[in-house]
Amino acid sequence: MHPSRPPVTAYVALGANLGDAQATVRQAMRDIDGLPGTTVSRCSSLYRTAPVDSSGPDYINAVVEVATELLAPVLLQALQVLERQAGRERPYRNAPRTLDLDVLLYGEAWMDGPLLTIPHPRMAERAFVLLPLAEIASWRVLPDGLLAVAGQRVERLLP
């Protein structure tokens, strides 16, 4: 038996724009909480956003904070399993999707690999990531960052 690792605080972005996107994102929050050695500690509100670098209907987006004993690449693999279980297909880059899960931040780690880059390389360009992240972890978003994405249409949905 391996000794467990101390949990790392990570942030995961959730998005969907096919099917019942709100239900899918809410279910994914529960599913993430069920991953081995992983507990969701905070969930943002849901946000409706226009597609960015994508097409199709509006997206439903959110961010969750997790405490996880999983290494970052293992967390990513587990999230990709959840995507596939939700019917995620990847016919082309930025295709509309039933579920998209991205590791935004993993503790204080910096990684730049072929499968995983942390911090997420485009998070600072996307209001649909920064607004829900700021809601649950304001210290992780610079005020200038929110100003940079102020022109993007994002609507916070009521619970």
The catalytic residue positions are 88, 97, 100, 102
What the block records as the tokens of 47 is: 């946000």
Q: Are strands 111-112 and 59-68 parallel, antiparallel or unpaired?
A: unpaired
Rg (CA), the chain: 15
Q: Identify the three-state secondary structure at position 48.
A: strand
H helix or E strand, kind and range, residue 139: none
Question: Residue for token digits 């409706």?
Answer: 48
Output DSSP code: residue 86. Answer: T
